[in-house]
Structure 1
Amino acid sequence: MKTLGIFRHAKSDWTDARLRDFDRPLNTRGRAGAGLMGKHIREHAVGWKRILASPAVRVTQTIELAGEAAGETPPITWDRRIYLASSATLIDVLREQDSDPRTILLVGHNPGLEDLIFDLVPDDGSSPLRDVVEDKFPTAAYAVIELDIENWADLRDGTGRLVHLVRPRDLDPSLGPSLTD
């Protein structure tokens, strides 16, 4: 069995219209959310062996702040293909993982991350948390999927169970949606 974590970047700043999407940093709420989620990820204690991440600024800042709050950061592989990737591309990236670590934390963007959850977790009622993701997989959300596979190369649609899902607002209501979102 393998375990896949999915961590969406925290809330980004849209105030500077001159910045490319790739270069957008986190806003104040995003910085707070990233730190809070880092603590939660540590307390959830999966023991991530590898992080696969988009190199976009908002993702690198999310990982940095979450790692500081957690007191550790596993080895990171930055992969430009993860930036705004589709679920199919994310599955390809995961299938390529060598040395088959038992656990991988994937950090990136929607809609690809949300679609990945829908592709890996069957819509058969076996994962009630899937319904929450159908409503929204917001910024800084963290999900854990247990996969019925022995090797990452064997990753296929429908092989997962969504066993954990936390959003920043679940830990601190002030980090939930506001009227300006």
Structure 2
Amino acid sequence: MKRLILMRHAKSDWSVGMPDHARPLNERGRKSAVALGKWLRAEGILPDQVLCSSAARTRETLDLLSLADVPVRFEDRLYLAGPSTLLKSLQAADGDTVLMLAHNPGIAEFANGIVRHAPDHPKFAAYPTGATLVADFDIDGWQDAQAGTADSHAFTVPRDLM
């Protein structure tokens, strides 16, 4: 079995007047990222590999999760990636439990397309900032991951945690 933790970055700060790629998190986003890290640890859902967009807000989200030493691959192609790019990146992963940090709208489309059945949560389809899906794949290697084959294990949004 392989497990995917699919997380949209926490809430970013639109007031700073920076290029999109350089935009940091706002205060609510920082609190949300900390809460998501606590939730992952409390649930015992910890990655052994991270695939992260190179954008500032995904990097900051990752830092605030406060995960133990986990190998991280920052990928430019995950910045504003569509579902097919997200799947290709995942298929190249080598961890057993992979955290993928990326952006909407692609991450919402990917989340909706990767699971057999959507979690029973009113925010799943929209995939707001900080939304986190934990999905299990009955495969031996990530190269075999395909759309519509994962089982939803858990789903949360920061507002559920704070």
2:126 is equivalent to residue 129 of structure 1: no
Displacement after TM superposition at 1:129 (Å): 2.9
Q: Which residue of 2 aligns with 1:159?
A: 149
Unaligned 5+ segments in structure 1 are 173-181
Larger-Rg structure: 1
- Whole-angstrom distance in 1 between the partners of 2:54 and 2:43: 25
Q: Which residue identity is paired with 2:103?
A: H
What one-letter code is carried by the residue in structure 1 that aligns with 2:112? Answer: F
**Cross-structure match for 2:96:** 102
Correspondence 1:12 to 2:8: no
Q: Structure 1, residues 89-125: CA drift from partner, whole Å, max 9, x if none?
A: 010111122xx32110101111111111111113xxx
RMSD: 1.5
Shift of the 128–9 alpha-carbon distance from structure 1 to 2, 3 Å rule, reads closer
One-letter amino acid matched to 2:86: L
User: 1:118 aligns to what?
Assistant: 112
**Count of residue correspondences:** 162
Q: Report the equivalent of 2:128.
A: 138
Q: Flag structure 2 segments of 5+ consecutive residues without an equivalent.
A: none
TM-score, L = length of structure 1: 0.84
Aligned to 1:168: 158
Rounded Cα–Cα distance in structure 2 between residues aligned with 1:91 and 1:130: 23
Structure 1 residue 48, shift from structure 2 partner: 0.9
Residues 54-133 of structure 1 mapped to structure 2, 5 A cutoff? 54-67=53-66, 70=67, 72-97=68-93, 100-122=94-116, 126-129=117-120, 132-133=123-124
Q: Tell whether the 8 Å contact from 1:3 to 1:144 is kept in structure 2 after alignment.
A: yes
Match of 1:176 in 2: none
How big is the shift at 1:73? Answer: 4.2
CA contact (8 A) 2:118 2:124 kept: no
Map of 1:52 onto structure 2: 51
TM, length-normalised to structure 2: 0.93
AA aligned to 1:22 is H
Query: Counterpart of 1:115 in structure 2: which amino acid?
Result: E
Counterpart in the other structure of 2:138: 148
